[in-house]
């Protein structure tokens, strides 16, 4: 993949990805725009700048960095960055959540969409899978890294903590976990639904190295990812606490859990698109 190093250029790609997200969700009147918009800067930085990967998709991913999305409901952002990276035609984004599509509501390997290595949707499973892939890379003497993105609401799941316990014990140091700390989940603010209080301290107590990231500031996203990469290979897993705003980039979707899983109507779509520059051409 051609690496984009210019922050302005990355920000422009992110603007197009955000357009793709709201248009996908509007197109089927279904899906999860809030978390997708919040995580856009991270995924753009990973796929266009940080990760070593090939859009000539190979399931095994040998010699490539791997990305696993655990909070699978933010599929629109993943589908957009994959399409914009050339894994498949951007026009296919129009099929999102529609019958006979490879772009299922939640990502799946089952329809053979290039770029997807694991099904996700039922929460709490992606970190375990990423750990398995990381162990596999070590056994195969593959020095590339494995990334796993989770939600902060998802931290409610017990399996996450089984995995959080496992990784330091087994010195999984070729893994960068990322928690999208947007403070929102379906039923309301995380602090009210099920508090994650002192999340970073919890990871730290289990033996992880912590990196903090301003997840909606492209320069900081890139810098923090470099910091995390430098911490790899020291016998300790790395987690990034990524502070984001749900709905980032679309003012009326920001600051609330209400746009977690709601599609904009025609009028709202126009309002959203007016705030997002079309930089690469809409699909």
Partner 1 sequence: MKEYTYTEKKDTRSGFGAAMTELGRTNPNVIALCADLVGSLKIDTFIKENPDRFVQCGIAEANMIGIAAGLSIAGHIPFATTFANFGSGRVYDQIRQSVAYSDKNVKIAVSHAGLTLGEDGATHQILEDIGLMKMLPGMTVINPCDYNQTKAATIAAANYEGPVYLRFGRPVVPVFTDAEQTFEIGKAWLMNEGTDVTIIATGHLVWEAVQACNQLAEMGINAELINIHTIKPLDEEAILTSVSKTSCIVTCEEHNRIGGLGDSVAQLLIKYNPLPQEYIAVDDSFGESGTPKQLMEKYGLDTDHILKAVEKAIKRKKAE
User: What residues make contact with partner 1 under the rule CB under 8 A?
Assistant: 59-62, 66, 68, 108-110, 117-122, 124-137, 139-140, 142, 158-159, 162-163, 165-166, 169-170
Task: Give the containing element (helix H, strand E) for 13.
Answer: helix 7-28
* Cβ at position 88, least distance to partner 1 in Å: 18
CA distances from 114 to 58, 103, 111, 173 (A): 8, 10, 9, 27
Helix ranges restricted to H, 140-265: 158-169, 190-193, 199-206, 218-231
Beta carbon nearer to partner 1, 165 or 204: 165
Beta carbon nearer to partner 1, 140 or 282: 140
Q: Which of 275, 268, 216 is nearest to 16 (CA)?
A: 275
* Cβ at position 149, least distance to partner 1 in Å: 15
Q: Do 168 and 206 meet the contact criterion of CB atoms below 8 Å apart?
A: yes
For residue 168 the two structure tokens come to 């330091």
Beta carbon nearer to partner 1, 154 or 220: 154
* Cβ at position 133, least distance to partner 1 in Å: 4
Residue in this structure with the two tokens 């978390």, named with its chain if needed: 35
* Cβ at position 117, least distance to partner 1 in Å: 6
Beta carbon nearer to partner 1, 48 or 208: 208
* Cβ at position 125, least distance to partner 1 in Å: 5
Beta carbon nearer to partner 1, 59 or 270: 59
Q: Do 228 and 173 meet the contact criterion of CB atoms below 8 Å apart?
A: no
Residue in this structure with the two tokens 């960068």, named with its chain if needed: 176
* Cβ at position 57, least distance to partner 1 in Å: 12
Beta carbon nearer to partner 1, 42 or 120: 120
Query: How many CA atoms within 13 Å lie on the side-chain side of 264?
Result: 22
Residues in the chain: 283
């Amino acid at each position: 993949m051609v690496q984009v190093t210019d922050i302005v250029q990355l920000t422009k790609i992110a603007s197009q990805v955000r357009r793709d997200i709201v248009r996908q969700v509007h197109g089927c009147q279904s899906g999860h725009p809030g978390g997708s918009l919040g995580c856009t800067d991270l995924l753009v930085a990973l796929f266009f700048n940080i990760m070593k990967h090939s859009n000539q998709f190979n399931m095994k991913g040998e010699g490539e960095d791997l990305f696993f999305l655990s909070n699978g409901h933010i599929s629109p952002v993943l589908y957009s960055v994959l399409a914009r990276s050339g894994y498949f035609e951007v026009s296919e984004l129009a099929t999102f959540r529609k019958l006979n599509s490879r772009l299922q509501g939640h990502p799946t390997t089952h329809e053979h969409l290039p770029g997807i290595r694991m099904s996700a949707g039922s929460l709490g499973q992606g970190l375990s899978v990423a750990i398995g892939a990381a162990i596999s890379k070590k056994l195969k003497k593959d020095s590339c890294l494995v990334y796993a993105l989770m939600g902060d609401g998802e931290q409610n799941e017990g399996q996450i903590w089984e995995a959080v316990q496992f990784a330091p014990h087994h010195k999984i140091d070729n893994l960068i976990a990322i928690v999208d700390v947007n403070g929102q989940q379906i039923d309301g603010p995380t602090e009210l639904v099920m508090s994650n209080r002192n999340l970073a301290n919890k990871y730290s107590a289990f033996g992880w190295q912590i990196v903090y990231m301003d997840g909606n500031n492209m320069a900081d996203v890139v810098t923090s990812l470099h910091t995390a990469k430098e911490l790899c290979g020291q016998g300790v897993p790395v987690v990034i606490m990524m502070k984001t705003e749900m709905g980032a980039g679309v003012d009326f979707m920001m600051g609330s859990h209400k746009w977690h899983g709601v599609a904009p109507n025609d009028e709202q779509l126009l309002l959203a698109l007016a705030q997002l520059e079309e930089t690469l051409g809409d699909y």
